[in-house]
Amino acid sequence: MSTSFEQLQIAQTYLDKLKELGIGEPTPIQAEAIPVLKQGSDAIIQSQTGTGKTLAYLLPALEQIDPTQKQLQVLVVVPTRELGMQIMQEIEKLTADGPIRSQSLIGGAAVVRQVEKLRLHPHIVVGTPGRLLELMKIKKLTLHHVKVGVIDEVDQVFELGSMQDVESVLKGMLKSSQKVFVSATIPQSTEQAAGRWLKEPVIIKINASQRTAETLEHMYVLCQEREKVDTLRRLVRLIKPKSAIVFINVTDDIAQVVAKLQYVGLSIEALYGEASKQDRAKVMGSFREGKFQLLLATDVAARGLDIEGVTHVFHLDPATNAEYYLHRVGRTGRMGREGTTISIVTPKEQFILEKFEKQLGITIEPKAMYEGRLVDPAQDRSAATMRSRREAARPRDAAPVRSGSAGSHYAAAPAGAVRTSAPATDARESSAGPAKPAAPKHTAAGGKAVSKAQRERDRKSKGAPRWLKEKQQNKE
Ligand code: ADP
Ligand code: MG
């Protein structure tokens, strides 16, 4: 029999709020964690992405708050602004119309305003390590009365080079305060940190062997490096996901990548680490509202995000390790919903996926695009052979030529096997975003007067906007 929130002895005010939010039964991690946290034990909470870890720690933590005391009693530490804002919203929903005051203390926002607002004595704060420490140093924030300190996405928080900051924050809390570490992944280094900071922690793990959601379908498409953008464009056109996240590895210039993807007609915006607070908030807000289709993100930026309606996760670069893969794919397939994840990899990168399969106990199926469907590449190959025989029988210029198919065995079916049109045309067809710059004329194609170096440059920067090409040319 499953436990109810009543049986977990959640206070009536929160029971009412949960009902209003349409949350009926506790998830397994909530059923396990809530009683342990209510007893006041330190704990490590580890369960798959999208299993409701936030409420698992928030409900018992909120119950610890005595609203008559003008003191900070609960602290939630997070790695990023976006996750902080998401958790703040959850807190606000649970405490709406009540006496509990909450505040976010996140880097990027004006310190002066935060200091001013701190005068209202929040009972619960959500913050990033750097900003919390900054405010502690100038004596505007004290953690002496914190009863519960939670670090969400704890492995990421410790990894972000902010180790010293987090440790100083942890030191700022009394030894007797309850401390809780939360993540879907707890690597050994985090376990060691837990050993230093938690007193006899209760380890609450759900489904440790099943590390990613069973409702997730893992796939990959092979192509050459230069075809990746076009492959993504074709996949998006074929699948038409309502909402999807595209991951790249950390790059110096995410602006270039997003410009390139927008240029080929994708409705995509990026979550930038360096962008202003307002810009990041705007991008997140618009994405949540479904104003554009794809969110380009890095591993850190997307950690913990819970965005309704994300059905697909694409990897333009393979994840750095199995843990990162697990967090990336965990942006979809949440709470028992279905989700699909597609890695776009080169033959050289294929071994990385094999490693993930072994480490995570999953199968990542090869796929190819064929006649508007994603199929087993073997099927694509045999069909393609038949097709190319038929194509060969036709007059030459009848076969449409598509860019980006050269050299690819799986991703790009040979000419004629896929619905085809010149890339410049379909780039605009599929665009749901703002107007894109016109395609620069490709004088290089077939032009005998063009040098080999020029052709190579053009090949490399195919699909890039003019300014980007010029920039690249200037570099050479
Ligand atoms: P995690 O931190 O484990 O990745 P979240 O806490 O972000 O997962 O929760 C995922 C989603 O599930 C959120 O949208 C949340 O509101 C919802 N949720 C949480 N608990 C429940 C529940 N008991 N029943 C239904 N939905 C829930
Ligand atoms: Mg979470």
Domain assignment present for 252: yes
Per-residue confidence (pLDDT) for residue 290, from 0 to 100: 96
Cα(266)–Cα(241) distance, integer angstroms? 12
| DSSP output for 84-96 | HHHHHHHHHHHHT
Pocket test for ligand 1, best of 5, 8, 15, 23 (most atoms within 8 A of CB): 23
Mean pLDDT computed over 181-202? 95
Per-residue confidence (pLDDT) for residue 72, from 0 to 100: 98
Rounded to 5 degrees, φ, ψ at 109 are: -85, 160
The encoded tokens of residue 184 equal: 């879907």
Distances (CA, A) of 360 to 15, 218, 324, 419, 428: 36, 12, 11, 35, 39
Per-residue confidence (pLDDT) for residue 405, from 0 to 100: 33
pLDDT band at 54 (very low <50, low <70, confident <90, very high): very high
Strands 373-375 and 365-370: antiparallel
Residue 72 near residue 145 (C-beta atoms within 8 A): yes
Per-residue confidence (pLDDT) for residue 325, from 0 to 100: 98
Tell how far the Cα of 183 is from the centroid of ligand 2, in angstroms: 7
Domain assignment present for 398: no
Give the lowest-confidence range in 165-179, 235-249, 273-287.
273-287
Distances (CA, A) of 129 to 62, 79, 279, 443: 21, 7, 22, 53
Domain assignment present for 228: yes
Residue 171 has pLDDT above 70, yes or no: yes
Neighbours of 37 (CB within 10 A): 26
pLDDT band at 387 (very low <50, low <70, confident <90, very high): low
| DSSP output for 141-210 | ---TT-SEEEEETHHHHHHTT-HHHHHHHHHHS-TTSEEEEEES---HHHHHHHHHH-SS-EEEESSTT-
Residue 370 has pLDDT above 80, yes or no: yes
Per-residue confidence (pLDDT) for residue 435, from 0 to 100: 35
Domain assignment present for 445: no
Q: What CATH code is carried by the domain that includes residue 269?
A: 3.40.50.300
Boundary residue ending a domain (179, 205, 231)? 205
Rounded to 5 degrees, φ, ψ at 26 are: -70, 150
Per-residue confidence (pLDDT) for residue 386, from 0 to 100: 63
Mean pLDDT computed over 141-152? 98
If asked whether residues 304 and 356 sit together in one domain, one would say yes
Tell how far the Cα of 88 is from the centroid of ligand 2, in angstroms: 12
Distances (CA, A) of 30 to 191, 200, 458: 21, 20, 55
Domain assignment present for 329: yes
* C-beta 27 within 6 A of ligand 1: yes
If asked whether residues 222 and 98 sit together in one domain, one would say no
If asked whether residues 317 and 367 sit together in one domain, one would say yes
Long-range contacts of 62-65 (CB under 8 A, 24+ apart): 62/14, 62/91, 62/94, 62/95, 62/100, 62/124, 63/10, 63/11, 63/14, 63/38, 64/147, 64/148, 64/178, 65/100, 65/123, 65/124, 65/147
Cα(201)–Cα(36) distance, integer angstroms? 10
Domain assignment present for 53: yes
Tell how far the Cα of 468 is from the centroid of ligand 1, in angstroms: 41
Choose from 190-194, 273-277, 413-417 the range with maximum mean pLDDT: 190-194
H/E stretch holding 471: helix 466-475
Per-residue confidence (pLDDT) for residue 277, from 0 to 100: 81
Per-residue confidence (pLDDT) for residue 50, from 0 to 100: 97
The encoded tokens of residue 154 equal: 């704890």
pLDDT band at 469 (very low <50, low <70, confident <90, very high): very low
Give, using CA atoms, the residue closest to atom 4 of ligand 1. Answer: 50
If asked whether residues 257 and 319 sit together in one domain, one would say yes
Per-residue confidence (pLDDT) for residue 283, from 0 to 100: 95
Give 301: exposed, middle or buried? Use CB within 10 Å, 0-12, 13-18, 19+. buried
Per-residue confidence (pLDDT) for residue 293, from 0 to 100: 98
What is the position in ligand 1's atom list of the atom closest to the CA of 330? 4
Rounded to 5 degrees, φ, ψ at 310 are: -80, 110
* Residue ranges with CB less than 5 Å from ion ligand 2: 53, 304
pLDDT: which is higher, 11 or 417: 11
Give, using CA atoms, the residue closest to atom 24 of ligand 1. Answer: 23
Pocket test for ligand 1, best of 2, 55, 210 (most atoms within 8 A of CB): 55
Domain of 269, in residue numbers: 216-379
Per-residue confidence (pLDDT) for residue 470, from 0 to 100: 44
Per-residue confidence (pLDDT) for residue 455, from 0 to 100: 47
If asked whether residues 21 and 105 sit together in one domain, one would say yes
* C-beta 53 within 6 A of ligand 1: yes
Residue 152 near residue 121 (C-beta atoms within 8 A): no
Mean pLDDT computed over 226-245? 97
Residue 212 near residue 48 (C-beta atoms within 8 A): yes
Residue 359 has pLDDT above 80, yes or no: yes
Residue 474 has pLDDT above 60, yes or no: no
Neighbours of 406 (CB within 10 A): 13
Residue 74 near residue 64 (C-beta atoms within 8 A): yes
Average pLDDT over the chain, rounded to whole?
84
Angle at 474 between CA 468 and CA 476, to 5 degrees: 110
If asked whether residues 113 and 222 sit together in one domain, one would say no
If asked whether residues 83 and 200 sit together in one domain, one would say yes
Residue 245 near residue 284 (C-beta atoms within 8 A): no
pLDDT: which is higher, 449 or 334: 334
Per-residue confidence (pLDDT) for residue 418, from 0 to 100: 29
If asked whether residues 269 and 129 sit together in one domain, one would say no
Boundary residue ending a domain (205, 236, 262)? 205
Tell how far the Cα of 174 is from the centroid of ligand 1, in angstroms: 30
Domain assignment present for 433: no
Q: Which of 209, 179, 213, 178 lies closest to 194 in space, CA to CA?
A: 179
**CA 368 to the chain's CA centroid:** 24
Choose from 145-159, 379-393, 395-409 the range with maximum mean pLDDT: 145-159
* C-beta 331 within 6 A of ligand 1: no
Neighbours of 109 (CB within 10 A): 17
Give, using CA atoms, the residue closest to atom 18 of ligand 1. Answer: 52
pLDDT band at 472 (very low <50, low <70, confident <90, very high): very low
Per-residue confidence (pLDDT) for residue 275, from 0 to 100: 75
Per-residue confidence (pLDDT) for residue 220, from 0 to 100: 98
Per-residue confidence (pLDDT) for residue 250, from 0 to 100: 77
Domain assignment present for 457: no
* C-beta 84 within 6 A of ligand 1: no
If asked whether residues 271 and 339 sit together in one domain, one would say yes
Boundary residue ending a domain (164, 186, 205)? 205
pLDDT band at 273 (very low <50, low <70, confident <90, very high): confident
Cα(220)–Cα(366) distance, integer angstroms? 5
Most distant pair of Cα atoms in the chain: their distance: 84
Per-residue confidence (pLDDT) for residue 109, from 0 to 100: 84
Percent helix, strand and coil across the chain, each to the nearest 5? 40, 15, 45
| pTM, full prediction | 0.81
Amino acid at 368: A
pLDDT band at 45 (very low <50, low <70, confident <90, very high): very high
- pLDDT tens for 86-120 read 999 999 999 999 999 999 999 888 999 999 999 99
Percent of all residues in the chain with a pLDDT value above 70, rounded to a whole number: 79
pLDDT: which is higher, 414 or 49: 49
Q: Which of 438, 428, 443, 434 lies closest to 467 in space, CA to CA?
A: 438
If asked whether residues 139 and 182 sit together in one domain, one would say yes
pLDDT: which is higher, 451 or 19: 19
pLDDT band at 381 (very low <50, low <70, confident <90, very high): low
If asked whether residues 374 and 300 sit together in one domain, one would say yes
Per-residue confidence (pLDDT) for residue 468, from 0 to 100: 38
Rounded to 5 degrees, φ, ψ at 315 are: -115, 110
If asked whether residues 249 and 366 sit together in one domain, one would say yes
- The total number of structural domains in the chain stands at 2
* C-beta 55 within 6 A of ligand 1: yes
Cα(55)–Cα(40) distance, integer angstroms? 16
Q: Which of 239, 228, 240, 246 lies closest to 411 in space, CA to CA?
A: 228
Cα(258)–Cα(101) distance, integer angstroms? 39
